Amino acid sequence: MDLRKVRNIGISAHIDSGKTTLSERILFYAGRIHKIEDVRGGGDGATMDFMELEKERGITITSAATSLKWEGHSINLIDTPGHVDFTVEVERSLRVLDGAVLVLCSVGGVQSQSMTVDRQMKRYNVPRLAFINKMDRTGANPESVTKQVRDKLGADAVMMQLPIGREDQFSGVIDLITMKAYYFDGSNGEKIRTEAIPADQVEEAAEARTHMLEALSMYSDELMELLLSEGEVTEKLIHKIVRDATINQGFTPVYLGSAYKNKGVQLLMDAVTRYLPSPLDRKFVGIDPKDPTARIPLESDPAKPFVGMAFKIMDDEFGQLTFTRVYQGTVKKGEMYFNQRTGKKDRFSRIVKMHSDKREDVEMGEAGDIVAIMGLDCASGDTYAAEPNYATLESMFVAEPVIKMS
Ligand code: GDP
């Protein structure tokens, strides 16, 4: 597994902004729900449309994590509970993410719930992209929503696209890096047509590009100098700066679309693979079970001793399904691992990867990956490792000593 091509991402959203619809579209385009041939190349292999898909709603995103492929990348889409509750469950799901997509409604913008989840994400340093959804709605105002992301969430949010057409006329986007227009065709928006920027938007696009480059120049001396000397700014350089600024410095690139109308989802996913971090871009530390003040650095290296955290437990007809993020080493089917909390040795007799509603048996899971262990008896939040007392990911609850009254 090429770790550089792994993305563990969550979709966080205020209720009703379209998180479910977006997740379904992502799975659809990735061919996981129903295989469609050559989606991006313009083949006509679509075998099912979203109306039929809607009927199957409910089976698609019920999993705590679902794995899909996108343009040579392995993506684990992790369910991020959107509710306000400051629960340990929400925190746990956030900490296994390497990056996130913040979905916002083009009319409703940033609402109180988005602010709560965003604060939690900041605590775990989760880099994110914003997706302004429902661009087809009356009153859609991506400029205002972007400003809200800046003002209310304190993120350096910058639009990477301009809309072509507004509200019910929304038909595509202008990409401010390639300076091309993208239209979404086909019954499910699965074909992307590229054209020159419409004549009446050329000037607006040039201004927006300048604004975007100026914002990015804050993160790169090289770009700053190129802008001052009017040198050539290559697409490659912009991608590099956006990626670095997003991963390390809180830059938030903003994308536009309408999940329901099948617009903009593929370009968003391209940005996910391009700009959100791989496990190698992240730093993880465990707590030393023998000394809770000591930290154990963990490495996304498959050759090191295994350390993984059970972040979500679900029950189904086959028993307990334990969703586990592998932080270090390789977890192998049939091997025994130590529960760091109980000290007990448990056998991992069956390992699966979840693909929407299907499960695929696998022999192992490598550092950076997310797998589910079947039939394990443990609690959510438990850390497993190849050795006893090696490291734990979640601080253990230490009971206060009981003061005896004499
Ligand atoms: P969630 O609560 O964030 O998961 O939101 P849903 O995906 O369930 O969507 C909430 C409602 O918004 C549903 O009625 C969707 O059909 C609708 N919706 C989702 N995406 C769009 C969109 O792009 N445009 C419009 N107009 N409605 C949308």
Contact 129, 11 (CB under 8 A): no
pLDDT, one tens digit per residue, over 231-264 is 999 999 999 999 999 999 999 999 999 999 889 9
Ligand 1 centroid–CA 174 distance in Å is 23
Q: Does the CB atom of residue 189 touch ligand 1 within 6 A?
A: no
Closest CA to 126 of 101, 153, 99: 99
Cα-Cα-Cα-Cα dihedral sign, residues 4, 274, 6, 15: positive
Q: Does the CB atom of residue 32 touch ligand 1 within 6 A?
A: no
Q: Does the CB atom of residue 15 touch ligand 1 within 6 A?
A: yes
Q: Which atom of ligand 1 is nearest to the CA of 24?
A: 7
- For ligand 1, pick from 136, 260, 263, 265 the residue to mutate: most ligand atoms within 8 Å of CB: 260
Q: Does the CB atom of residue 7 touch ligand 1 within 6 A?
A: no
Which amino acid is located at 327 in the chain?
Y
d(CA 135, CA 55): 24
- For ligand 1, pick from 11, 12, 16, 262 the residue to mutate: most ligand atoms within 8 Å of CB: 16
Find out whether 79 is annotated in a ligand binding site: yes
Q: Does the CB atom of residue 13 touch ligand 1 within 6 A?
A: yes
Alpha helices for 60-132 (secondary structure H) = 88-95, 112-123
CA distances from 322 to 253, 256, 300 (A): 33, 35, 20
d(CA 248, CA 252): 11
d(CA 359, CA 268): 26
Find out whether 80 is annotated in a ligand binding site: yes
Contact 384, 307 (CB under 8 A): yes
Q: Residue 177 has which token pair?
A: 């890096």
Contact 400, 326 (CB under 8 A): no
Q: What is the pLDDT of residue 354?
A: 86
CA-proximal residue: ligand 1, atom 22 (nearest): 134
Q: Which atom of ligand 1 is nearest to the CA of 13?
A: 3
Q: What interface predicted TM-score (ipTM) does this complex get?
A: 0.99
> 343-372 in b/e burial notation, b at 16+ Cβ within 10 A?
eeebebebbbbbbbbebeebebbbbbbbbb
pLDDT, one tens digit per residue, over 93-150 is 788 899 999 999 999 999 877 777 777 777 778 899 999 999 999 999 999 999 999 9
Contacts of 45 (CB under 8 A, 6+ apart): 35, 36, 37, 38, 39
Q: Does the CB atom of residue 19 touch ligand 1 within 6 A?
A: yes
Which residues of the chain fall short of a pLDDT of 50?
34-51, 54-61, 396-406
C-alpha torsion 323→328→330→335, nearest 10: -70
Find out whether 8 is annotated in a ligand binding site: no
Half-sphere exposure of 382 (CA within 13 A, CB side): 22
Within 10 angstroms of residue 280's Cβ, the number of other Cβ atoms is 15
Q: Residue 383 has which token pair?
A: 């850390």
